[in-house]
Chains A and B, each alone.
Chain A
């Protein structure tokens, strides 16, 4: 019997069907994990703030997917931002690690010393950010300078927001990477807002990618909610970097549908603007439509993925909830190599101010 559906169109960027389903799984995992975190946050089980990437999952997942991902410390390295949970999951971070981090557990990747997705695995290829925005640009310049000096075919990728492009660290890092032709790809996520500050108060440039010209490096702007377009642009930049073509910049156009963090009711964002992006430009909806329309995947293939993601997240939440909080004395370790810091003299029995 002849099929009534159109013949499949070739998948672009040399991706295959399994990879498309993998991309889909990471998109669902990212959104699903954040939904679990929201629930835990409302139960006061998330200790600090919760940062959402709702509506930006597409560019996080697709950009990381373009890297050489290994688990043995020899692959590419990225440095994510607070809204790049998807990038970290693609590189191999586990949902249970993220949950433990947010819940400040003793067996979290940082042992309760750092929060949310600020954690590192050089083995898997991700370097945790710090809260001074833009700082990871020069840091990743140094990571990739080392790749270049050692002749290793490895690439680094660093994410900044529209806000961090205004920092000195961003400028100094990109400029040094350009001079040294480091294999570094800088992703500028333009989601319209830096906390409450809109784009037009951040810069007078018509596009952030125009800054690339000032550094003498290539730059492209891409629809950040088009998963395959992001993948294609990042893949081209990564391939060029790996081949010795130096650093480049990609501005991904997206939109932050939630506030800066869960506490932020985002009164500065017009509600109809948020609605419009949610209803007409959701990266996961768009990707699913593309999969269906081109005959690359159908619901019987996607639905079991959704189910598996939910199962995985159920297990991860249970595991993280059962994890212990850190031992207070852990505070003292890892300030210096092989030393512990001095504890409170008032807590000695009897109190002794002289102990050294």
Chain B
């Protein structure tokens, strides 16, 4: 089968214009577009992804470039088009599925966890699919346009989960996710999509970021803060504040890929700072922080000078009203309090 058929490179020559700083959203689009140029087996499916360019315009322009055979508008049917992506993957395609909001991935939970995640193990072959979509709160989207459902899939062997925080990582991880031979859930925090301060210039060469590798965003001595997605930026704000006011030095570790978890990088950092705080925008109970804490307990217990703590959203649905949502979400002040508590432990 032509699973790995690759077209001749059709990249436009790198120009200065091509290297202008671009947004997080544009970086994702560029990653998808470049992989579609590179490999004709890559196709996009989802609601309103074609003529309309997607609810957030992530796939804008792809229909004109690649045509209806590779950018497919679907009925409102997450089971239907996620299942169809799985079938196409069996035939050697590399589908990218858009969930209009990642909250709706729950509709396809069965197909993803029972079918796609187990296909290789069952002997039915690889499922090189990227399932992507806008996630996250802080944009007043209410209970069904704000969720972070990564933990619901974190428990499923066979899946990979990517959750970038920067434009460079978003593009590089998207390209790696598309090339990966396993199914990848790709979480795009919508609050990051158009932040002007996140604009970055992309390198002219083929820019990929490997899956399964965390990055140290900021080096520090006193407390390791493990986080991902939009929380990376709140943690960075907190780290700057703590440095100034308390002279506490925070190491900020951005997981980038949640599954597989880069345990080694976390352990290395904890062995340096001896204190660990985990911050995620997802709710608390059953969140990824619990698993990270357990891994460190197993692998680096003697290195700890303080209990492992976490800052997360509350164990409630995501509320709509600004005072409620702001109260629900972890804020920089919470991170400051927690890090200060740990540093003084």
Using a CB–CB cutoff of 8 Å, the interface residues on chain A facing chain B are 73, 109-111, 113-114, 118-120, 122, 127-128, 130-132, 135, 137-147, 149, 168-169, 171-173, 175-176, 179-180, 334-337, 341, 345, 353-354, 356
Contact = CB atoms under 8 A, between A and B. Distances in A.
9 contacts: A113-B122, A122-B1, A135-B83, A139-B83, A141-B84, A142-B84, A145-B72, A173-B83, A176-B81
Most buried by B among A73, A114, A171, A334: A334
Nearest to B157: A335
B79 interface: yes
Contacts of B144: none
A139 to B, nearest CB: 4
B264 interface: yes
Interface in B100-151: 110-111, 114-115, 118, 120-126
Given A130-B115, A176-B77, A337-B182, A110 B122 contact: yes
A341 to B, nearest CB: 7
Most buried by B among A147, A341, A345, A354: A354
Contacts of A130: 114-115, 118, 122
A258 B69 CA distance: 45
B324 interface: no
A337 B183 CA distance: 10
B173 interface: no
B61 interface: no
Given A119-B123, A172-B79, A356-B264, A139 B299 contact: no
Contacts of B298: 345, 353-354
Contact of B80 (A128, A175, A335): A175
Interface stretch (B18-26, B86-94, B309-317, B334-342): B86-94
A179 B122 contact: no
Most buried by A among B69, B90, B157: B90
Contact of A122 (B85, B125, B157): B125
Contacts of B13: none
Given A145-B88, A337-B120, A138 B158 contact: no
B290 to A, nearest CB: 17
A119 B82 CA distance: 21
A175 B80 CA distance: 8
Interface in B46-102: 69-70, 72, 74-75, 77-93, 95
A-B complex: 5 closest residue pairs judged by Cβ atoms: A142-B87, A138-B83, A172-B80, A142-B84, A172-B77
Contacts of B89: 142
B181 interface: yes
A212 B43 CA distance: 29
A128 B124 contact: yes
B237 interface: no
Contacts of A138: 77, 79-84, 86-87, 111
Given A120-B123, A176-B74, A356-B264, 20 more contacts: A127-B124, A130-B122, A131-B114, A135-B111, A138-B81, A138-B86, A141-B83, A142-B88, A149-B43, A149-B70, A168-B79, A173-B79, A173-B83, A175-B75, A176-B75, A179-B75, A336-B120, A337-B120, A353-B298, A356-B263
A132 B123 contact: no
A175 B70 CA distance: 19
Contact of A132 (B77, B115, B120, B126): B115
Nearest to B70: A149
Given A132-B115, A138-B82, A146-B93, A110 B123 contact: yes
A24 to B, nearest CB: 31
Contacts of A145: 72, 84, 87-88
A142 B126 contact: no
Given A139-B115, A356-B263, A336 B86 contact: no
B87 A140 contact: yes
A25 B82 CA distance: 39
Contacts of A173: 79-80, 83-84
Contact of A335 (B83, B87, B90, B121): B121
A173 B90 CA distance: 16
Nearest to A128: B124
A180 B89 CA distance: 17
A144 B93 CA distance: 12
B79 A120 contact: no
B122 A139 contact: no
A102 to B, nearest CB: 15
Contacts of A142: 83-91, 95
B86 A139 contact: yes
B299 A334 contact: no
Contacts of A143: 87-88, 90-91
A118 B79 CA distance: 21
A137 B77 contact: no
Contact of A336 (B75, B122, B182): B182
A139 B95 CA distance: 13
B123 A139 contact: no
Given A140-B87, A146-B93, A173-B83, A120 B124 contact: yes
A222 B150 CA distance: 46
B188 to A, nearest CB: 23
Contacts of B182: 336-337
Given A109-B123, A172-B75, A172-B79, A354 B299 contact: yes
Interface string B195-238: 00000000000000000000000000000000000000000000
Contacts of A120: 122-125
Contacts of B86: 138-139, 142
Contact of B158 (A110, A171, A336, A353): A336
